[in-house]
Amino acid sequence: MKNAIGREIPEKISGIAEIKPFAGAFATVPEMRRQAPKVKRIKPTDNKLVDNLVEVFKKIPVTDGMTLSFHHHFRNGDGVVNMVLATAAQLGLKNLTVALSSVFPVHAPIIEHVKNGVVTGLDTNYMSGPVAQAVSRGLFNKPVVLRTHGGRGRAIECGQLKIDVAFIAAPAADAYGNLNGVEGPAACGSLGYAFPDAQYADHVVAVTDYLGEYPLSPISIPQTRVDYVVKVECVGDPKGIVSGTTRITKDPVGLKIAETAAKVIQATGLIKNGFAFQTGAGGASLATAAFVRKMMEKDNVVGSFALGGITGYMVDMLEKGLFKKLIDVQGFDLEAIRSLATNPNHLEVGADFYASPFNAGCAVNQLDVVILGATEMDTDFNVNVVTGSDGVIMGGSGGHADAAAGAKVTIIVANLLRGRLPIIVDKVLTATTPGETIDVLVTERGVAVNPRRTDLKEKFLAAGLPIKDIQELKELAEKIAGVPKEVKTGDNIVAVVEYRDGTIIDVVRQVEG
Amino acid sequence: MDLRRSMLFIPGNNPGMLQNGGVFGADSVILDLEDAVAPMEKDAARFLVAHALRTVDYGSSETVIRINPLDTFAAADIKAIVPCCPDAILVPKVESAADIHQVIAMIAAAEKPGQTPVKIIALLETPCGIVEAYNIAKADPRVVALALGAEDYTAGLGAMRTKEGTEIFTARTVLINAAAAAGIQSIDTPYTDANDEEGLLADTELAKRLGFKGKLSINPRQIDVIHNVFSPSLSDIDWAEQVIQAIRKAESEGSGVASLNGKMVDLPIVNRAETILHLAQLLGLMEEKK
């Protein structure tokens, strides 16, 4: 069957319980109640501290077929996932599902656990590195579920991602299970992606290498939801967790794109008091923030809030009074951690608060503008951030589809030519974010506006911006680089791409070789 | 008159930059075969630049190629590049009218029948070049601009290159004067600290005050600042329009003498006003003003 954006979705996919095709960004209305988590109790004299992971596995007990969840705030410095899965393998457990909000190169040992039958399922929002490559080549017998950050929160709340045990890597914990991310050697800032896990998992285990005095302060995840605390030698490598400072790109093409994107934002008329903004930490995205900042400073604009992954750059804007608040679901650098720990206007929120479509309102809905990237975009403005030019998985939505759906204006910044490949194609290999939620594409050679947004196009033309039809931009790119050969994929479905509302927007098929 | 507010150097051995050189909106791009390219890579760069000229769309940017000096690879550069129809050649280390004549002979020999004659911009970067500035500017109608290369020039003087640029003051004014006397453009030396936007602004404003018509640039990030300085401001345009109105009024009244706000409007003032309005027209500023 074809879904609402014309992607062919099988009616049945082995290993996936129910297939609901994507019907439109806001078409699916939930008719259900939230999952009721297990009610817990503890006696006053009970002790939550457990000596090691083996012991906690036995106490719970962790059994074959369970779903173990993890957050990705330690990024490529994470030590906890590998530690927990090694314990599972050591105890001879089989058939586990790993629900890890993002998979990084450091998680390569998962591959061996899959081959040995310890792990048989993967549920994630983003993956890069050896695991992603192995998934693309058919590592799992059933498809990996790729969600959005908001969609994962929704799936947990709605009971569609049922977590048996949440292992929460905690930079700091007290012995009674209060956790935060701003202290200890593995400080990572916000613990937002673990909030839904802590609320809804049957069992919650904090894994830490830094035990503070009771009561820990601040508290990000409270003792009321944490069953066990395990102290280990080391939870992760700080070098892989945070960067020292996040720098603005010096790539002249990236800067050109960023500057144009900032002019686009200015032309929307949204840069005024109360401006709410989200941008990524990389390349042209952060550089756009720098240009927007100049405009805000020039016109004395005080924004309402900046959202999303928080960098030192955003912290500086908060401290200089350019934004009144930061809403932080994930911090990227040491400045973000310092600010979260000390500034009451720097708010730590969970994935559901950030972006879940099925609650009484998430933060992305309050955004004026979001700046996002893309590996591919088609002439219907559908965006791919999952597969690369070789068809291999190299990312995932993360908050992409969530922020795109929520913001008043969603802008994609991308080089029209990446390496020697045009970014605009007739049909993206993998649709991640539907074109109806994308408003503008900004490239170094022109700006394309979604035909749905005639209002924006008029404003941009009036501002003298280099507006081109998306087809025209595509042809321009092809004139320079030629038309790329279509990527050949096999029939085997290695991943399903779930839209934030739980419907299937696309599938990823196995690459050859 | 061609606009050369900004002339952006693009390394001739960098395919990515050659491909993207047209996206930054510089009035001219200078595809560089000289300083940006190591001696071992001259052949490859020449090939790349020739190919770029034939295939890459540089949009509204004029295409200028900086060749190597006459005593090194200039002949091979000209032979390979000129048939690819660049708009102009930037000749480094020009020291005399004879240098220009030598280059023109090679260019003429390389041009295809019917090809638009390739222009010449002379880069003066030695004390000798500055002394000969006027003769170089007048050497041939192909010479459309003199440009200053202050790094080599200061080394030639034995002076220290500073951000304030006191040491190049004479070279700047001599070059500007020679170009103006010959009726061609003068282009200022690049500001080499790409991270110092304030310094660039001050240096470019000084260049404009002295009489330069544009500035060489070593980084795309510099272009906006340079354009802002060299583009007529709205008050410039207002003034120019008033001048033209005053002169028309005087003409219609049969008087040869016009005045504006108590000052006499004579021919040089009218010329300046016309240049401003011409620039404003080219840059679409008249529309913006309305």
Q: Which residue of B has its CA nearest to A252?
A: B220
Average the pLDDT over B10-27 and give the result.
93
Q: Which pair of tokens denotes residue B79? A: 């032979």
Kindly indicate the confidence band of residue B262, based on its pLDDT and cuts at 50, 70 and 90. confident
A2 beta partners: A8
Best residue in B9, B18, B20, B221 for a mutation probing chain A (most A CBs within 10 Å):
B20
Mean pLDDT score across all residues of chain A: 95
Residues in chain A: 513
CA diameter of chain A: 74
B221/A contact by beta carbon, under 8 A: yes
CB contact under 8 A, B20 and A464: no
CB contact under 8 A, A445 and B23: yes
Kindly indicate the confidence band of residue B271, based on its pLDDT and cuts at 50, 70 and 90. confident
Average the pLDDT over A335-357 and give the result.
97
Answer yes or no: are the C-beta atoms of A197 and A153 closer than 8 Å: no
Residues 71-100 of B with CB under 8 A from A: none
Chain B positions in Cβ-Cβ contact with residue A253 (cut-off 8 Å): 16, 20, 23
CB contact under 8 A, B221 and A417: no
Q: What does the DSSP assignment read for A323-367?
A: EEEEEEEEE-BHHHHHHHHH-TTEEE--HHHHH-SSSS--GGGG-
Q: Among B57, B221, B284, whose Cβ lies nearest the Cβ of A252? A: B221
Dihedral, CA atoms, B196, B197, B202, B207, nearest 10 degrees? 100
Mean pLDDT score across all residues of chain B: 94
DSSP state of A249: P
Q: How near does any CA of chain B get to the CA of A252, in Å? A: 6
Chain A positions in Cβ-Cβ contact with residue B23 (cut-off 8 Å): 253, 256, 444-445
CB contact under 8 A, B19 and A255: no
B20/A contact by beta carbon, under 8 A: yes
Using CA atoms, how far residue B37 sits from A124, B34, B65, B81, in Å, is: 47, 6, 13, 16
Answer yes or no: are the C-beta atoms of A432 and A386 closer than 8 Å: yes
The alpha carbon of residue A414 and the mean position of all alpha carbons in its chain are separated, in whole angstroms, by 19
Of the CA atoms within 13 Å of residue A469, those in its CB half-sphere come to 3
E-strand stretches of chain B: 6-11, 28-32, 62-66, 88-91, 119-124, 143-148, 185-188, 214-217, 258-260, 263-265
Kindly indicate the confidence band of residue B279, based on its pLDDT and cuts at 50, 70 and 90. confident
Percent of chain B clearing pLDDT 90 (strictly above): 79
Chain A positions in Cβ-Cβ contact with residue B20 (cut-off 8 Å): 252-253, 444
E-strand stretches of A200-340: 203-208, 228-231, 276-279, 303-310, 323-331
Average the pLDDT over B47-57 and give the result.
95
Q: How near does any CA of chain A get to the CA of B11, in Å? A: 13
Average the pLDDT over A51-65 and give the result.
98
- The sign of the torsion formed by the CA atoms of B243, B246, B249, B253 equals negative
Average the pLDDT over B95-101 and give the result.
98
The alpha carbon of residue B280 and the mean position of all alpha carbons in its chain are separated, in whole angstroms, by 18
Q: Among B56, B221, B284, whose Cβ lies nearest the Cβ of A255? A: B221
- Quick count: other Cβ atoms within 10 Å of Cβ B264? 10
B231/A contact by beta carbon, under 8 A: no
Find, among A319, A327, A274, the residue nearest to A301 by Cα: A274
B23/A contact by beta carbon, under 8 A: yes
Residues 34-73 of B with CB under 8 A from A: 56-57
Average the pLDDT over A141-168 and give the result.
97
Find, among A359, A101, A71, A362, the residue nearest to A190 by Cα: A71
Q: What is the pLDDT of residues B118-157, one digit of tens each?
A: 999 999 999 999 999 999 999 999 999 999 999 999 999 9
CA distance A333 to A308: 13
Percent of chain A clearing pLDDT 70 (strictly above): 99
B14/A contact by beta carbon, under 8 A: no
Q: Which residue of A has its CA nearest to B16?
A: A419
Beta-strand relationship, A440-443 and A409-413:
parallel
Does position B1 have pLDDT exceeding 70, yes or no? no
Residues in chain B: 290
Q: Which residue has the higher pLDDT, A281 or A341?
A: A341
Q: Which residue of A has its CA nearest to B285?
A: A464
- Quick count: other Cβ atoms within 10 Å of Cβ A338? 17
Does position A83 have pLDDT exceeding 70, yes or no? yes
Q: What is the CATH number of domain A252-487?
A: 3.40.1080.10
Of the CA atoms within 13 Å of residue A212, those in its CB half-sphere come to 19
Does position A499 have pLDDT exceeding 90, yes or no? yes
Beta sheet of A424-425, edge-to-edge order: A383-384, A376-378, A424-425
Rounded to two decimals, the ipTM of the complex is 0.81
Does position A244 have pLDDT exceeding 70, yes or no? no
Does position A283 have pLDDT exceeding 80, yes or no? no
CA distance A296 to A273: 9
Percent of chain A clearing pLDDT 90 (strictly above): 92
Find, among A409, A413, A410, A419, the residue nearest to A374 by Cα: A413
Q: How near does any CA of chain A get to the CA of B197, in Å? A: 13
**All structural domains of chain B with their residue ranges:** 6-230, 234-289
CA distance A163 to A98: 9
CATH class of domain segment(s) A49-241: alpha beta
Does position A382 have pLDDT exceeding 90, yes or no? yes
Q: Among A252, A464, A480, whose Cβ lies nearest the Cβ of B24? A: A252
Rounded to 5°, the CA angle A330-A336-A342 comes to 115
B220/A contact by beta carbon, under 8 A: yes
Supply the pLDDT for residue A261: 97
Kindly indicate the confidence band of residue B258, based on its pLDDT and cuts at 50, 70 and 90. confident
Does position A206 have pLDDT exceeding 80, yes or no? yes
Burial of residue B96, with CB atoms counted within 10 A of its CB: 0-12 exposed, 13-18 middle, 19 or more buried: middle
Q: Which of A328-342, B112-126, B237-251 has the lowest mean pLDDT?
A: B237-251
- The sign of the torsion formed by the CA atoms of A423, A427, A432, A438 equals positive
B286/A contact by beta carbon, under 8 A: no
Find, among A77, A130, A129, A80, the residue nearest to A100 by Cα: A80
Q: Which residue of B has its CA nearest to A446?
A: B23
CB contact under 8 A, A253 and B288: no
Q: Which of A335-344, A421-430, B250-259 has the lowest mean pLDDT?
A: B250-259
Global pTM reads: 0.91
Average the pLDDT over B72-96 and give the result.
97
Chain A positions in Cβ-Cβ contact with residue B220 (cut-off 8 Å): 252, 255-256
The alpha carbon of residue B127 and the mean position of all alpha carbons in its chain are separated, in whole angstroms, by 20
User: Which residues have CB under 8 Å from B114's CB, separation 6+?
Assistant: none
A–B CB contacts, 8 A cutoff, strictly below: 24
Does position A132 have pLDDT exceeding 90, yes or no? yes
CB contact under 8 A, B23 and A480: no
Q: Which pair of tokens denotes residue A297? A: 């400073």
Chain A positions in Cβ-Cβ contact with residue B17 (cut-off 8 Å): 252
DSSP state of A487: P
Find, among A262, A477, A268, the residue nearest to B23 by Cα: A477
CATH superfamily of B6-230: Phosphoenolpyruvate-binding domains (3.20.20.60)
Average the pLDDT over A450-475 and give the result.
96
B32 beta partners: B11, B66
Q: Which pair of tokens denotes residue A508? A: 């990823």
Q: Which of A155-169, A173-187, A480-494 has the lowest mean pLDDT?
A: A480-494
Average the pLDDT over A205-217 and give the result.
98
Query: Which residue spans of chain A are classified as CATH 3.40.1080.10?
Result: 49-241, 252-487
CA distance B79 to B241: 47
Best residue in B23, B193, B225, B227 for a mutation probing chain A (most A CBs within 10 Å):
B23
Kindly indicate the confidence band of residue B174, based on its pLDDT and cuts at 50, 70 and 90. very high
Q: What is the pLDDT of residues A291-337, one digit of tens each?
A: 999 999 999 999 999 998 899 999 999 999 999 999 999 999 999 99
Does position A2 have pLDDT exceeding 70, yes or no? yes
Best residue in A248, A251, A253 for a mutation probing chain B (most B CBs within 10 Å):
A253
Kindly indicate the confidence band of residue A420, based on its pLDDT and cuts at 50, 70 and 90. confident
CB contact under 8 A, A253 and B221: no
